[in-house]
Amino acid sequence: MSSTNLGSVNVDFRFRPTRYAKNSKAKRFWVGASVGSSPSSLQFRNVKVHNSKETVRIGLLGASGYTGAEIVRLLANHPHFSITVLTADRKAGKSMGSVFPHLITQDLPNLVAVKDADFSDVDAVFCCLPHGTTQEIIKGLPKELKIVDLSADFRLRNIDEYEKWYKQPHKAPELQKEAVYGLTEISREEIRNARLIANPGCYPTSIQLPLVPLIKGNLIELRNIIIDAKSGISGAGRGANEANLYTEISEGIHSYGITSHRHVPEIEQGLADASHSKVTVSFTPHLMPMNRGMQSTIYVEMSPGVTVDDLYQQLKNAYEGEEFVKLLNKGDIPHTNHVKGSNYCLMNVFQDRIPGRAIIISVIDNLVKGASGQAIQNLNLMLGYPENSGLHCLPLFP
C-alpha cells in the first residue's frame, strides 16, 4: 500500500510517476517502506485503507483479454488504484497500447508472463485468466495479496461439483475454503472481510440479482424456474475460436449449453443459499450478434396468494438505495443498450398471461457488472473504499 500520509510512521518517500501522474494535479508519491517484501510492507498490505491520498498497487493477470482490458479502462477513473503489473500469455512482451489501441493514451507497464511478474510491487490482484489455469497461478501468489478472481475456479463451494461441471479436479481445495462468492449487493458484509473473492459469472449475476430477494421473501415457488438468457459475444473472451467468427455469429441467434451449461450449479448454489433448500432451474443461454450485453428473461410461478405487485415491492425494497441495481418503473422494459459500458443491472417484473406466473427481465453489461465492474466494486469493499470508486461511468447510449 503506498501513501503520502502514514501518520507517525517514518518512511522514505520516493517519487515514481504513475500512469495517472500526467492527468492528476497532485502528483503521487510512493512509500519506500511499502515497496519490496520487507516485513513492514507485509504489514501495510493487510491494513484497510480509508485515506484519500493512499494508492493501492494493482496487479492484473490476464490483462490482454477482454475483462482485463475492461478493468484497465475502468481504473483510469479510479482515485486510489494504480496499475503496476500487467500479465499475458501469448502476448507477453507487448505493450498494452499495441494489444488494445483504445488504451494507448494510458501510461501502463508492458505485459509480462506471470512467471516474470514482480509481485513485491503489488497490493491486490485482479485475476482474469481462464478457469483451471487460475487455480494454479493463484496458489503461487504471495499469501498477503487481496485477490479478486474473475474466473469460475472458486465459485463452487463443493469441489466435487466443480469436477463434475468443469471436467477437471480442483487443484486448490485449500484456497476454495477461504473464497467468498462476490455477488456484491447480496454478500456485502462477507466481501468486506475476504481475502479471496470468487467474482460471479455474468449469467449468474443477471439471474441471482432478481431471484435472490424474491426467494428470500418466499414469494416464488422453487420449482419451475425457467431462465432464457442471452449474451453478447465478448462473453466468450478474445481467444480465437471458429464458433465465434463473424460469419458464425452475425445475423443469427443460437442457443448452446442446453441443460449442461457450467453456470447451472453456480446459479443453483446461490438460489439454494437464499432458500435454504435445493433448487433446480431450467437454464438455456443464447449467443446474440452483439459485442456486449446480457439479458436474462426468467419465468417463475408465484407462491399462493402472491401478486406481481408483491414481487415488484420486494425488489423495490431490496434495491432501494443501491447505486448499481435498479428496478425500472412499472411497465418499463429493460434493454441491454441502457447498461452498455456501465456497472448497472436494470430489472423489472411483469404479470404473465397465465394466472399465477410472472416474467422477470434483468439486463447487465457482461463485461462490467458481469465481470470487471463487479470485481472493482468488490475490491473497493475489501479495502474499505467507497464501493463506487472508479465505477461512475454512465451507460454508453445509443
Ligand X SMILES: CC(=O)N[C@@H](CCC(=O)OP(=O)(O)O)C(=O)O
Ligand Y SMILES: NC(=O)C1=CN([C@@H]2O[C@H](COP(=O)(O)OP(=O)(O)OC[C@H]3O[C@@H](n4cnc5c(N)ncnc54)[C@H](OP(=O)(O)O)[C@@H]3O)[C@@H](O)[C@H]2O)C=CC1
Q: Using CB under 6 A as the criterion, which residues of the chain lie in contact with ligand X when the complex forms?
A: 131, 151-152, 201-202, 231, 235-236, 263, 285, 287
Which residues, numbered 190-209, are part of the site for ligand Y (CB under 6 A)?
Answer: 201-202
91 is a site residue for ligand Y (CB under 6 A): yes
The residue range among 72-80, 331-339, 364-372, 388-396 that interacts with ligand Y, by the rule CB under 6 A, is 364-372
Q: DSSP of 339-395, one letter per residue?
A: TTTSS-EEEEEEE-SSTTEEEEEEEE-TTIIIIIHHHHHHHHHHHTS-TTTT--PPP
Given 79, 97, 130, 386, the residue binding ligand Y (CB under 6 A)? 130
**Residue 305: CB atoms within 10 Å:** 8
Residue 285 interacts with, from ligand X, ligand Y, none (CB under 5-8 Å by kind): ligand X
- Residue the block writes with cell 500479465: 87
**287 phi and psi angles, rounded to 5 deg:** -100, 130
- Residue the block writes with cell 456485502: 188
148 is a site residue for ligand Y (CB under 6 A): no
Nearer to ligand Y, 182 or 235 (CB): 235
Min dist CB 62 to ligand X, Å, is 11
Query: Residues touching ligand Y: how many (CB under 6 A)?
Result: 30
215 to 244: interface string for ligand Y, x by CB under 6 A: -------------------xx-xxx-----
CA atoms within 13 A on the CB side of 92: 14
Nearer to ligand X, 283 or 324 (CB): 283
Query: CA 118, CA 151: separation in Å to the nearest integer?
Result: 22
- The grid coordinates of residue 98 equal 499495441
Query: CA 334, CA 355: separation in Å to the nearest integer?
Result: 23
Q: What is the largest CA-CA distance in the chain?
A: 70
Residue 62 interacts with, from ligand Y, ligand X, none (CB under 5-8 Å by kind): ligand Y
Known catalytic residue at 202: yes
Torsion of CA 42, 43, 48, 52, to 10 degrees: -90
Q: What end-to-end distance do the CA atoms of the chain give, in Å? A: 39
Given 74, 114, 172, 361, the residue binding ligand Y (CB under 6 A)? 114
Which residue in 127, 128, 202, 345 is the catalytic one?
202
Q: Tell me the chain's radius of gyration from C-alpha atoms.
A: 21
Catalytic machinery residues:
202
Q: Which residues bind ligand Y (CB under 6 A)?
A: 62-68, 88-91, 114, 128-131, 133, 150-151, 201-202, 234-235, 237-239, 366-367, 370-371
